[in-house]
Amino acid sequence: MTTQPNSAEARDIRYHLHSYTNARKHEEIGPLIIEKGDGIYVEDASGKRYIEAMAGLWSVAVGFSEQRLVDAATRQMKKLPFYHNFTHKGHSPVIDLAEKLVSMAPVPMSKAFFTNSGSEANDTAMKMIWYRSNALGQPQKKKIISRKRGYHGVTIASASLTGLPNNQISFDLPIANVLHTGTPHHYRDALAGESEEAFATRLAEELEQLILAEGPEMVAAFIGEPVMGAGGVVVPPATYWEKIQAVLAKYDILLVADEVICGFGRTGNMFGCQTFDIKPDILVMSKQISSSYLPISALLINERVYAPLADESNRIGTFGHGFTAGGHPVAAAVALENLKLIEERDLVGNARTVGVHMQKRLRELAGHELVGEVRGVGLIGAVELVGDKQAKTPWKNAGALGGLVNGLLQENGVISRNMADTLAFCPPLIITEKQVDDMVDAFKKALDAAVPQVRG
């Protein structure tokens, strides 16, 4: 790209190492610099306006310009700009937020523990699980089962739980005691003629065989997203979670529900656990908890987890884990106000009703020659692209078609994200049916524009 030597683009290339980015390619093409946000829209440095179809990173529930969140942060910043929760200290915002989260949990929970990101929360869950096993006199019970294509973060522990190759290659991951079982993606992984329920049965049987092979006395927990996010918006097949939970109960294995993307309305219920009747022992949340206006995340733990942990902290003298900014008063105040907005404006109901419209509009594209599968629930969806519909094979190589269409879509004023050849749609929960139509119409235009390049 050609830029002025001291432009923002040039300085970004010179000084900034980006997340999830090809660093050498970035040196060539530079950044898209976003300067403003308003509702479901963002605006770049040139003044071009985009529908932010990913809500930033699956996360801006109430839109990009909510004054009540700005005011909540300002009030708290003036009153108590920082305090911590170490060594018996506390403050009103974190107490209020802990009470709110425990009271709204989809299943009975005992305590909330605060961290700053989904990665930190899942890392913490892993440590809590190990700590609990030691407390119970089960030092061998340390293995945690995750799923291929699952996404649980990027710290050393949480990236080990993640089941995506690019999060582990050259990082020397995964670490020990992490196992991976199958992905509940019927379109890609079911056998010929296998029904959703039969596929779910097979996945549950494979999980049980993995547990038996490792030894049930060695396996402490299973972690999963209600709907897989970064792994391609994979909606589980019918009866999947029912059958998985039956296996876990049979062998006394904890269930961790990663609600970082699904939580606070995304699937058309307050939690994805309600959509799929999941009853976790640990529930992990982030992103929409504050609409990502400020970094905050949390774990809810039930009494089955809390009691041994509390006993062990009493034996040792402390629970030796925590973060300087965990439960930060300003972030907690913003999260509380954000949750009020979600409830007052019935954004969960909006996700349910407008979500039906979004799913319908996306499924109208199923017959397009470049579309392999359309999937989703509520206001989260995905369209998987293929070069050959019958064979379900990519154009050129995996990710080429997704990258092409995503680029064309951005030119059309919509920011999405392609995960290889799957484009995701996860707009702010405030989106209207008319705005959904604008988003899907732009996507259809991008698909049509790609056809001559693919078939030429």
Q: Are the C-beta atoms of residues 428 and 60 closer than 8 Å to each other?
A: yes
Q: Bridge partners of 381? A: 376, 425
**How far is Cα 163 from Cα 149, in angstroms, rounded to an integer?**
4
- What's the Cα-to-Cα distance from 54 to each of 40, 199, 219, rounded to whole Å? 9, 30, 35
**How far is Cα 54 from Cα 387, in angstroms, rounded to an integer?**
24
The CATH number of 69-344 is: 3.40.640.10
Mind listing the pLDDT tens digit for each residue in 357-382?
999 999 999 999 999 999 999 999 99
- pLDDT, residue 388, reads 96
- pLDDT, residue 4, reads 82
Backbone angles phi, psi at 398, to 5 degrees: -55, 125
Q: Are strands 297-301 and 111-115 parallel, antiparallel or unpaired?
A: antiparallel
- pLDDT, residue 1, reads 56
By CB atoms closer than 10 A (0-12, 13-18, 19+), residue 204 is buried
**How far is Cα 211 from Cα 225, in angstroms, rounded to an integer?**
19
Parse the chain into domains and list their residue ranges.
32-62+346-455, 69-344
**Looking at 127-210, which runs of residues are DSSP E strands?**
143-147, 178-181
**How far is Cα 229 from Cα 424, in angstroms, rounded to an integer?**
9
- pLDDT, residue 340, reads 98
**How far is Cα 389 from Cα 372, in angstroms, rounded to an integer?**
6
- pLDDT, residue 169, reads 97
- pLDDT, residue 456, reads 83
- pLDDT, residue 105, reads 98
**Which residues neighbour 10 within 8 Å (Cβ) at sequence distance 6 or greater?**
3, 4, 30
Q: Are the C-beta atoms of residues 40 and 51 closer than 8 Å to each other?
A: yes
Q: Report the topology of domain 32-62+346-455.
A: Aspartate Aminotransferase, domain 1 (3.90.1150)
Q: Which residues of the chain have pLDDT under 50?
A: none
